Structure 1
Amino acid sequence: MAGKKSSKVRVQEAIDALGLESEVVTMPDTTRTAEDAAAACGCAVDQIVKSLIFERHDNQHLVLLLIAGSNRADMDLAAKVIGSTLDRADPKKVRSETGFAIGGVAPVGHLCPMEVYIDPHLLTFETVWAAAGAPNAVFMVEPQALMKATDAKPLSVG
């Protein structure tokens, strides 16, 4: 498998290509949970971007929800906004279509295009931290810039 890029390298290349001013940082400890990531990054739990992958029930396409660290995805609201109920995505499908394993999914650098929706609470912060393709890799970004770079739609109605 010579020449295969690591997920962290792919995320950094995506950050650069999207014009986001950020660097992937490898932390000494895990950032797998929002609480662990907040402790490692020295920020509030809500400044952690959880990248959650679901599958649309109507066409089986993957959908990415960017959710603030202490929030849970509101599946009823998501169904109204997206126009389809969402099912839990199979980890093998997530890995093959995005290039990321569950637990290390980044908001950028996916192998496939997908719909992206963002928790409006993330937009209340100056900066947020997101996973960067490994259990201990993160990057800091302005949430408005992340929303624009991922073409994310707000996960709210009205």
Structure 2
Amino acid sequence: MSRDSLSPRSRLVHDALRDAGIPGEIVTLPDAAATAALAAAALGVEVGAIANSLVFWSDGGPLLVMTSGAHRVDTAALAERLGRTSIVRASAEQVREATGQVIGGVAPTGHPAPLPTVVDEALAEFAEIWAAGGTPHTVFPLTFDDLVRLTDGQVAAVD
């Protein structure tokens, strides 16, 4: 899909991908894929290959967790692993403020400012993973290594 045909939010993601040297094209799905299961079904991939972008609030600021669609984040265990006081789900308003994107379409990039990021080590099992492209209707492919590099993420177990 050409950059010009993308929404403004997805254009920011597209530009960040190109700046990082990541060739994956943003794909617009006919139906919203706001959950890992919906995205996996639309793409014909395992749910574990979907890189969910979950925004949490931790120690006074946002924390982006890129988790495999097959996992749930154990916030207490993750906080302990990371040496943080607590990790709680961000409100819709906090998500929008931190990322410029809405829940269900949060990309790992294209935010107003870089976010501290944790990348689920389970995503390394897949040669290709898919992440949201800035809206609930857009996704793009990349590798685990590209995701870690793109987000400057810390790799950890999240479940």
State the secondary structure of the residue aligned to 1:55. Answer: strand
Tell me, yes or no, if structure 1 residue 155 matches structure 2 residue 156. yes
Structure 1 residue ranges (4+ consecutive) displaced by more than 2 angstroms after TM superposition: none
What are the Cα deviations for residues 111-156 of structure 1, in whole angstroms up to 9, with x where unaligned?
Answer: 1221100111101110000001111100000111111121111123
Give the aligned residue type for 2:68: A
2:113 is aligned with 1:112:
yes
Q: Residue by residue, what CA displacement relative to the aligned partner does 1:58-87 show, whole Å, maximum 9, x if unpaired?
A: 3x1100000001200121221022221112
CA distance in 1, matches of 2:70, 2:103: 18
Equivalent positions of 1:130-149 (< 5 A) are: 130-149=131-150
1:62 aligns with 2:34: no
Amino acid at match of 1:112: A
Q: Which residue of 2 aligns with 1:24?
A: 26
The CA distance in 1 between the partners of 2:49 and 2:157, in whole Å, is: 18
CA distance in 2, matches of 1:80, 1:113: 23
Question: TM-score w.r.t. structure 2 length?
Answer: 0.90
Structure 2: which 5+ residue stretches go unaligned? 1-6
Structure 1, unaligned stretches of length 5 or more? none
Aligned 8 A contact 1:27 1:136 in 2 = yes
1:77 matched to which residue of 2? Answer: 77
Q: Cα offset for 1:14?
A: 0.8
Q: Secondary structure at the match of 1:110?
A: coil
Q: 1: CA distance between counterparts of 2:139 and 2:147?
A: 14
Question: 2:75 is matched by which residue type in structure 1?
Answer: M
Shift of 1:40: 1.0
Aligned residues: 151
Equivalent runs, 1:16-55 vs 2, <5 Å: 16-55=18-57
